[in-house]
Amino acid sequence: MLDVGGESTRPGAARVSAADQISRVVPIIEAIRSHQDEHVSGIPISVDTTRAAVARAAIDAGADAINDVSGGTEDPELLAVAAASGAGLVLMHRAQAPPSDRYADEYQREPTYEGGVVAVVREFLQSQAERAIAAGIAPECLVVDPGLGFGKSVPQNLELLRAGRAMSTSDVPVYIGASRKRFVGRLSITGPSDPEDRLAGSIAATILGALAGAVLHRVHDVAEHVQALSVLAAWNEPEGRGVYLGSPCGPDTCG
């Protein structure tokens, strides 16, 4: 699946209006859907947005799913858009919006999560999944994401990565995005690092997340991660080919 977004979610990023997001993402989605190669035109697409208007426009243009990093909290209409369209929905936990956020290794004092980061994030994701179902979204169209790097310190990100499947107290699949994040660089490289230098650490984090039960993985270096996950699939199922398929939810059921 391709994840198309018109607003950066990195710490410190400025907000982008719904109109500007639409002007950025809709032409890309339309271009993919109209591509002459059916392998390109038929690929599943998610739109990375917290705004209902952007989600609606993207779905109208051909997107299959909504990736909401606010977990359905920023725009109350977004859940209704997902329910009406039958689109898939990723609900992520974040501590605060990007302008107020900071990188995982920049905290002088670890962010406070009463009862522990795993318990707090799990409770939030469960609550938001229940809200989504109450809004009319089919359970099989939901995915939850603990939000690695979003308002968590390096140790807290590791706790969430270890928790994996435990982030969901129901049958909702767990999705993680560790690729190229600052906490990965801090764990894998001595001293400062650029995002493109974090491939090996990203693959390691993704594999550890998969071992802990996550079944969907947001990555930048797709081919390399597919190879690594395919080896893990072969290890888990020695009789199989080892090709990693990941998601239990395809375009014939929901986005």
Q: Per residue in 90-146, pLDDT tens?
A: 999 998 887 877 777 777 888 899 999 999 999 999 999 999 999 999 999 999 999
Check whether 66 has a pLDDT greater than 60.
yes
Dihedral sign, Cα of residue 132, residue 113, residue 51, residue 49: negative
* pLDDT value at 197 more than 90: yes
62 CB-contact burial (10 Å; exposed 0-12 / middle 13-18 / buried 19+): middle
Catalytic residue among 51, 56, 186, 218: 218
On whether the pTM is more than 0.85, the answer is yes
pLDDT of residue 180: 96
Q: Residue 180 has which token pair? A: 């190229």
CA distance 12 to 97: 9
Respond yes or no: is residue 131 known to be catalytic. Answer: no
Average pLDDT over residues 185-212: 95
**pLDDT higher than 90, residue 71:** yes
Q: Which fold has domain 2-177?
A: TIM Barrel (3.20.20)
**pLDDT of amino acid 224:** 97
Q: What burial class does residue 85 get, using C-beta atoms within 10 Å of its C-beta: 0-12 exposed, 13-18 middle, 19+ buried?
A: buried
Catalytic residue among 51, 180, 181, 186: 181
The answer, yes or no, to whether residue 250 has pLDDT greater than 80, is no
> Quick count: other Cβ atoms within 10 Å of Cβ 144?
28
Q: Where do the structural domains in the chain lie, given as residue ranges?
A: 2-177
Per-residue pLDDT reduced to its tens digit, 201-247: 999 999 999 999 999 999 999 999 999 999 999 888 866 555 555 54
What rounded mean pLDDT belongs to the chain? Answer: 91
For residue 173, give both structure tokens.
């699949």
152 among known catalytic residues: no
Is 47 a residue whose pLDDT tops 50? yes
